[in-house]
């Protein structure tokens, strides 16, 4: 493999910290949706999926991701909105 494609810094940074409430909490799905968005933003979708127990594009999280999208659009948080839209597209593609 060409050295141009080797990430010599891989594994050098701290792992993302997904702070989640107890799975029985009424806020768990919202926190899980945010964790998946955060993981995607940080290039750690697999870690976020493992931490939450949900997969990217899980239809169970659609209401939470729609709320995240609406809030991000109101606040002008373009990256969060972009990732939320991508999540919702994945739900549609998986149906």
Q: Does residue 63 lie within any of the structural domains?
A: yes
Residue 87 domain boundaries: 25-94
Q: What is the pLDDT of residues 58-92, one digit of tens each?
A: 999 999 999 999 999 999 999 999 999 999 999 98
The residue among 90, 92, 87 whose CA lies nearest residue 40 is 87
Residue 4 lies in a domain: no
Residue 70 lies in a domain: yes
The sign of the dihedral angle between the CA atoms of 68, 16, 93, 58 is negative
Task: Report CA torsion sign: 53, 57, 62, 67.
Answer: positive
Rounded Cα distance between 51 and 36, Å, is 9
Name the pTM for this structure. Answer: 0.83
CA distance 33 to 70: 14
Q: How many domains does the chain have?
A: 1
Q: pLDDT (tens digit, 9 = 90+) per residue, 26-45?
A: 999 999 999 999 999 999 99
């Amino acid at each position: 493999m060409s050295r141009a494609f080797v990430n010599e810094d891989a594994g050098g940074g701290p792992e993302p910290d997904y702070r989640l409430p107890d799975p029985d909490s009424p806020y768990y799905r919202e926190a899980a949706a945010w964790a998946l968005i955060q993981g995607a933003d940080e290039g750690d979708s697999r870690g976020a999926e493992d931490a939450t127990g949900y997969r990217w594009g899980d239809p169970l999280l659609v209401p939470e991701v729609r709320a995240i999208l609406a809030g991000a659009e109101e606040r002008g948080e373009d990256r969060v909105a972009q990732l939320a839209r991508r999540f919702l597209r994945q739900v549609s593609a998986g149906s």
